[in-house]
Amino acid sequence: MKLLVSLLSLLLSLLHFSDGHIWAWMLSMPYNKPGDAAGLTRTATIKGSTLCSRSRGLSQVTCDNDRACGRGLFCDRHFGLCMALRHEGQFCRKDSQCVRGLGCMYGKCQQIIPDGHEGSRCKQDKDCAPSMCCARHHGEMICKRKLPAGDSCFVPDGGLAFSMNQLCPCEEGLICSSTLRKREKEFVYSHSSDWKCMSPSS
């Protein structure tokens, strides 16, 4: 029992000594000591918007917009802190969190693909080359190639699979059709792999 009490006392003292850093590390959150608030310099205000307040002796700056942070930084509005711009392959939530020349695609900073090319962002089909369409991929609207002969063309009726990822139609001159021959029964269960792009005469 005494050993258990000693271990609990040691754990509590370690937590007190760490001053919250352990919890911040476990939750992957940036951490400011409560006492740091007393060392904040004056807050600049432009057009009624609070820009930033810098802690004495610390590099962290609180903010509510990107302009408050300066070159090479962005304002993470979730935490209200200025952070370094992300490089290729690093996690992001929007384009402004990535360094110049990179965009935030699928949650990571990546090279920006020129407009109209496969993989570039789009809003409608005319934003893409004639051989492509504008369709959703992992939630992003991008230019995708139309499906060639033999490719699966089954599209879900709805749900998460349809919302997150979409297919382009078949290439010109092809139709999306089931490869199973119709039977006399009224209902025939068809697997998604049975729908392929093919010539109407097939």
Q: Is the dihedral of CA 98, 100, 103, 109 positive or negative?
A: negative
What is the band of 178 on the pLDDT scale with cuts at 50, 70, 90? confident
- Cα 59 off chain centre by: 27
Q: Convert the pLDDT of each residue in 78-126 to its tens digit.
A: 999 999 999 999 999 999 999 999 999 999 999 999 999 999 999 999 9
Question: Cα separation of 77 and 94, whole Å?
Answer: 12
Interval 175-189 mean pLDDT: 64
Question: Cα separation of 83 and 98, whole Å?
Answer: 11
Q: What is the pLDDT of residue 201?
A: 80
Domains and CATH numbers, the chain: 118-202 (2.10.80.10)
Q: What's the pTM value of the predicted model, to 2 decimals?
A: 0.59
Q: What is the pLDDT of residue 125?
A: 96
Q: Single out the residue of 125, 120, 162 nearest to residue 146, CA to CA.
A: 125
| Cβ atoms of residues 68 and 52 within 8 Å | yes
